[in-house]
Structure 1
Amino acid sequence: MGKLGEILSHPDELIPLLRMARDARKASRLPADPDLAFCYGILNDVSRSFAIVIQQLPNPLRDAICVFYLVLRGLDTVEDDMALDVSFKVDQLRSFHEKIYNKGFTMSCGYNHYKRLMAKFNIVVDVFLKLEDVYQKVIADITRRMGCGMSEFIEKEVLTVQDYDLYCHYVAGLVGIGLSQLFAACGLESPSVREEEGLANHMGLFLQKTNIIRDYLEDIMEEPAPRMFWPREIWGQYGTSLECFKDPANRKQAVQCLNHMITDALRHLPSCLQYMRQLRNLLVFRFCAIPQIMAIGTLALCYNNGKVFEGVVKMRRGQTAKVFQTCNDMGDVYRWFIYFLEIMEAKVRSAVSADDPSLATMRTEVATSLGHCRAALVQWRAAQPGSALALIRDWTLLAVSGSYFYYVWRLGGPGPESLPELLRPYAWVLEEHEEVQRAVSVVLLVLVFALVVSERRKV
């Protein structure tokens, strides 16, 4: 009853789930070109949700970002493989940006789908070499900067929050910077987007910190040795080691450390919102905004939640589907951020222990972010022109569904005479299968009403 129970308890998520399933099927349709087919096929294997949003992008940007993602995923696979000799790994990370120009380049490393990616990396190289030169330069430059940055942390412990920010810059902030350059290079976004490296960096840091926080248990259990990036400056206030947080006896300290980590992540929100506000292309906007909403949603679930130390905490699939289907402008972003920030606010107000060291800072962060998003949403609504066509559509839907309900239930009296004279010859249609039609009329009226209310709330 797990998934069925979720749908029954959240019926508004059924249609988004069906639409997301449709989008996933579209994403699984591979191009005719065999090399591109491999790239998009392996993309589906290593990141299904990312594959959906990337497939919605127009070409040539779509292929460039697909290759960009796979090249960086290959680099990340080298970094993550703890079985590789350290000196060999450092050399591979620093030279990886050169290897992507070498036809036939492959490596034996990684696990599961990542092992297959590296074994057939020559195909990714072939597609990379077919991209326009402007895209190749961006991908190679970001790969170089990321590889050199990763090599710094192969044997270096993340001690301070400054170290933490630097590591996240190397592995995610640079991704945001590279994507901004690709958006501008293809002409879908203004050249000024390329210049906002600071804002793009915050976009990456927010996503990466969310992943690092959420994946505590998976990372600490990694074999042959864990690689953890929670900064000692934070976790050292709550325990003698990161491993001690697995012990249920230390759950209070573990949760307080978790709360501190999430509080730190929220400081990137203002810059993330500022970055998204400058985007003009709808498809690029969705590509950037959906992961940000997923991140704030994940943090809202993880905050003050000891289950992070027992397993994976993630959003309901139906809720994820709603995000995918209702993220088309900054109004949607503000509404989702407000929704998840209010969840955090409720926890801060009544669920978090009064002696939690980061509580006061978190209360300020949440209140500030909520105030900003609420004010921005009001301004955004005021700037949107009212749509007469949308209003006519909504009233027409309500009138038709309401009239159907009115006549099927004979609220105007029994018999054909209750119908307008024009419709009386067709009274027999309403009299056949009357009970079924009554049920249909109720469902139809409720659905139309819910749809209209939802659309009106956006205006």
Structure 2
Amino acid sequence: MPSLYGAVKSKTGELLQDSMEYCKGALQSVSRSFALTIPLVEENILGPIMVGYLEARILDTFEDDIGRREISLEERIEAMNMLMDILENPNAESTKEKIDILTGSADEMVQNPKYRDLVKNMKSVLAVHSSFDEATKECMVRWLKEMNFGMQKFLKQEVYSFDDLDEYCYYVAGTPSGFLTELIRKRSKDLSDKNSAILKENERDFGLFLQKVNIIRDFREDILDNEKIFWPGFLFEKYQVKPEKLLNDINEGKAMPILDYMLDNACKHIEPVKAYLNAIPDEYAGFRAGAAVNFAMGVATLDTMRSNRDVFFGDKPVKISHESRDNIISDPLGFVSN
């Protein structure tokens, strides 16, 4: 497994090393699935991917964590824009003050203790970010800026159609996929023009697929905990049922066909993602293996949710079996091929 320190340029003083250690621990804390796969990727893209993920997580936390008190739309947008100002203008006189404002707001704005700790310690994430070369930083900030724009759009707009769902998923998950793909396409020495085009054509599908799996799996949890709905509104109109009523098993006859619509929509991304994985050059075999693990777990989760009433009525989100998980981790590309 490559060392995370190798992703940081030579100016690794004690403070920077401490910041890297924090980022490694934070990644393990805020995302078990990506903490499992990000360390598999090659050394020259490992640091940017890890820090890019943590910065996206901070932005997402300001966007949708329910907070320890009621957080207004205006407060969310102000915090999101302030984060982007920090990233876009790191040397501005006001940057330190803005960092202090955001880290100081964590106790009120962020209820999830793991995300709260990440926001409080964003200085460590920003310290590692600042160590990257200018081209990498520009790439990271540009994709985060796109994400910020879309997140704010859907703070004010509901998901009504499958086109809306695709657009929402692009902003929250397709943009990170675009960032990862740009790193590969710009840094690879062995990527053919054909495979470069395949990666570019299908990068969006990779992010959309993973996000849709999460949205389907977390339907019950999103309603109960966050009172948020990401399934297209036209489905509830079609079956004349309110989303929260689907958590009552008296409406199972309406819930299961709606679930089929959602699963079928997610499945349209499977073949494009396979093409994406197969186009990744061998010099980034570690990145391909990590992406294949996440993809294969998504496919297995979709299969587990098919005709599964626990999506609506279970005590916990549906998960794949430990046996399936172990099989995927041991041979993700073989699982994808099958």
Q: TM-score band, normalised by the shorter chain?
A: 0.7 to 0.9
Q: Partner of 2:323 in structure 1?
A: 318
* C-alpha displacement of 1:187: 2.7
Change over 3 Å in CA distance of 1:290–1:274 after alignment to 2: same
Change over 3 Å in CA distance of 1:103–1:40 after alignment to 2: farther
Change over 3 Å in CA distance of 1:189–1:89 after alignment to 2: farther
Conserved in 2, the CA contact under 8 Å of 1:67 and 1:127? yes
Q: Using the alignment, how far apart are the partners of 1:256 and 1:306 within structure 2? A: 11
Q: Partner of 1:99 in structure 2?
A: 86
Conserved in 1, the CA contact under 8 Å of 2:143 and 2:176? yes
Q: Using the alignment, how far apart are the partners of 1:260 and 1:189 within structure 2? A: 40
Change over 3 Å in CA distance of 1:188–1:120 after alignment to 2: farther
* C-alpha displacement of 1:302: 0.4
Conserved in 2, the CA contact under 8 Å of 1:149 and 1:167? yes
2:155 counterpart SS class: coil
Deviations 1:417-436 (CA, angstroms, capped at 9, x unpaired) = xxxxxxxxxxxxxxxxxxxx
Q: Using the alignment, how far apart are the partners of 2:191 and 2:138 within structure 1? A: 19
Q: Using the alignment, how far apart are the partners of 2:148 and 2:165 within structure 1? A: 17
Deviations 1:258-284 (CA, angstroms, capped at 9, x unpaired) = 111101111112211111111123112
Which amino acid counterpart does residue 221 of structure 1 have in structure 2?
A: L
1:292 counterpart SS class: helix
Q: Partner of 1:79 in structure 2?
A: 63
Within 5 Å, give how 1:361-400 maps onto structure 2. Answer: none
2:219 corresponds to which of 190, 213, 216: 216
Q: Partner of 2:292 in structure 1?
A: 289
Conserved in 1, the CA contact under 8 Å of 2:296 and 2:335? no
Conserved in 1, the CA contact under 8 Å of 2:143 and 2:175? yes
Q: Partner of 1:69 in structure 2?
A: 53
Please report the TM-score for the alignment, with normalisation by the length of structure 2: 0.84
Q: Using the alignment, how far apart are the partners of 1:245 and 1:199 within structure 2? A: 34
Q: Using the alignment, how far apart are the partners of 1:239 and 1:183 within structure 2? A: 46
Within 5 Å, give how 1:102-117 maps onto structure 2. Answer: 102=95, 105=99, 106-107=102-103, 108=106, 109-110=109-110, 111-117=112-118
* C-alpha displacement of 1:95: 4.5
Conserved in 1, the CA contact under 8 Å of 2:151 and 2:171? yes
Q: Using the alignment, how far apart are the partners of 1:241 and 1:334 within structure 2? A: 39
Q: Using the alignment, how far apart are the partners of 1:188 and 1:158 within structure 2? A: 41
Change over 3 Å in CA distance of 1:59–1:188 after alignment to 2: farther
* Consecutive unaligned residues in structure 1, runs of 5 or more: 1-22, 336-459
Deviations 1:160-199 (CA, angstroms, capped at 9, x unpaired) = 1111110001001111111101223333663856654441
1:275 counterpart SS class: helix
Conserved in 2, the CA contact under 8 Å of 1:134 and 1:185? no
Q: Using the alignment, how far apart are the partners of 2:96 and 2:186 within structure 1? A: 25
Conserved in 2, the CA contact under 8 Å of 1:326 and 1:332? yes
Q: Partner of 2:168 in structure 1?
A: 167
Q: Using the alignment, how far apart are the partners of 1:48 and 1:154 within structure 2? A: 26
Conserved in 1, the CA contact under 8 Å of 2:39 and 2:46? yes
2:76 corresponds to which of 89, 94, 97: 89
Conserved in 2, the CA contact under 8 Å of 1:177 and 1:194? no
Deviations 1:290-343 (CA, angstroms, capped at 9, x unpaired) = 11111110000001110111231111123212211112x4x54211xxxxxxxx
Q: Using the alignment, how far apart are the partners of 1:218 and 1:212 within structure 2? A: 10
Which amino acid counterpart does residue 230 of structure 1 have in structure 2?
A: W
* C-alpha displacement of 1:73: 0.4
Q: Partner of 1:202 in structure 2?
A: 205
* C-alpha displacement of 1:239: 3.6
* C-alpha displacement of 1:250: 0.4
Q: How many residues align?
A: 304
Q: Which moved more, 1:99-108 or 1:46-55?
A: 99-108
Q: Using the alignment, how far apart are the partners of 1:239 and 1:168 within structure 2? A: 25
Q: Using the alignment, how far apart are the partners of 1:135 and 1:77 within structure 2? A: 23
Q: Using the alignment, how far apart are the partners of 1:176 and 1:92 within structure 2? A: 24
* C-alpha displacement of 1:93: 2.6
Conserved in 1, the CA contact under 8 Å of 2:175 and 2:204? yes
Deviations 1:138-163 (CA, angstroms, capped at 9, x unpaired) = 11011100001000011211111111
Higher normalized contact order (CA 8 Å, seq sep 6+, divided by chain length)? 2
Q: Using the alignment, how far apart are the partners of 2:189 and 2:238 within structure 1? A: 46
Q: Using the alignment, how far apart are the partners of 2:240 and 2:267 within structure 1? A: 23
Q: Using the alignment, how far apart are the partners of 1:320 and 1:200 within structure 2? A: 24
Deviations 1:364-416 (CA, angstroms, capped at 9, x unpaired) = xxxxxxxxxxxxxxxxxxxxxxxxxxxxxxxxxxxxxxxxxxxxxxxxxxxxx
Q: Using the alignment, how far apart are the partners of 1:94 and 1:151 within structure 2? A: 10
Matched, 1:36 2:20: yes
Deviations 1:52-100 (CA, angstroms, capped at 9, x unpaired) = 2111222231111110000000011011123322112123334532223
Q: Using the alignment, how far apart are the partners of 1:258 and 1:290 within structure 2? A: 24
Conserved in 1, the CA contact under 8 Å of 2:246 and 2:254? yes
* Consecutive unaligned residues in structure 2, runs of 5 or more: 5-11
Conserved in 2, the CA contact under 8 Å of 1:160 and 1:233? yes
Change over 3 Å in CA distance of 1:233–1:253 after alignment to 2: same
Let me know the Cα RMSD of the aligned residues. 2.2
Q: Using the alignment, how far apart are the partners of 2:324 and 2:220 within structure 1? A: 23
Q: Highest Rg: 1 or 2?
A: 1
